[in-house]
Amino acid sequence: MAAHAAHTSERRSGRTAFAIAFVAVAVALTGAGAYAGLNATATGTASVSSGTLSLTLAAGSGSAGFPQTITNMAPGDVINTYVDLSNGATMAGQALTLGVTGSGSTTLTTNATKGLEVSVNQCSVAWTATTGVCSGTTTPLGTASDPVATLASTPTTLVSGSVATSTTYHLQVSLTLPNQSETTVNGVTPTTTIQGLSTTLTYTFSENQRTATTTNE
């Protein structure tokens, strides 16, 4: 009886092993069949490069340009600086603006009535810096005159439309201390005086990229 039981147990173990092997093979064949079939691909290439946007500022012909040192200004004085502003990169720009900020906090840069003012004119050719003469066509840019107190927070628009690549603007940047009166009494200046003050101005020309486009190839 013991021998017969052992023989029966061996037969069962053999059948179990065979069943496990059969299942494993079936699973393998099923998995292989799931990934079999036809495949196709197609490829294309596109060469892509991004553009560059850049403004450069240089002294105009015969002018010291920026930076500059201005001393002893009096009401009514006008200081003209001549610069060439170029959009020399590969991408057109738009909305050219000028902002001006001043160091410190004095009447020169915080008072929109008594403080410094800036105006900009463009010449179609290079300015004659020694005489301030434009031998071509003069075009005012921006408003007639903007207080630095305003330009510090709200830049003036010089060109509202497109700024083409390889464009150079020949600019006359005029700094003015408005004509005004003050009375100094016994050596004491008024509270909001424009006398004896100093600041360092920073002129910032800015532009945006051209309007984004959609191209169908």
pLDDT tens readout for residues 13-70:
555 554 454 545 454 545 555 567 999 999 999 999 999 999 999 999 999 999 989 9
User: In this structure, how many other beta carbons lie within 10 angstroms of the beta carbon of residue 144?
Assistant: 7
The residue ranking higher by pLDDT, 32 or 209, is: 209
Residue keyed to tokens 């200081």 = 79
pLDDT at site 143: 87
DSSP-derived 3-state class of residue 172: strand
pLDDT tens readout for residues 113-124:
999 999 999 999
Preceding amide of 140 cis, omega within 30: no
Instruction: Please count the residues of the chain.
Output: 217
Measured CA to CA, the distance from residue 120 to residue 205 in angstroms comes to: 12
Measured CA to CA, the distance from residue 200 to residue 194 in angstroms comes to: 15
CATH dotted code for 55-182+197-209: 2.60.40
User: For the whole prediction, is pTM greater than 0.75?
Assistant: yes
pLDDT at site 16: 53
pLDDT at site 92: 96
**Residues 199-208: what's their mean pLDDT?**
97
Is the confidence at residue 10, as pLDDT, over 90? no
The closest of 78, 98, 123 to 206, measured between CA atoms, is: 98
Degrees to nearest 5, angle at CA 18 with 16 and 22 = 115
pLDDT tens readout for residues 74-113:
999 999 999 999 999 899 999 999 999 999 999 999 999 9
The residue ranking higher by pLDDT, 162 or 23, is: 162
DSSP-derived 3-state class of residue 98: strand
pLDDT at site 57: 96
Q: Which amino acid is at 12?
A: R
**Residues 197-203: what's their mean pLDDT?**
97
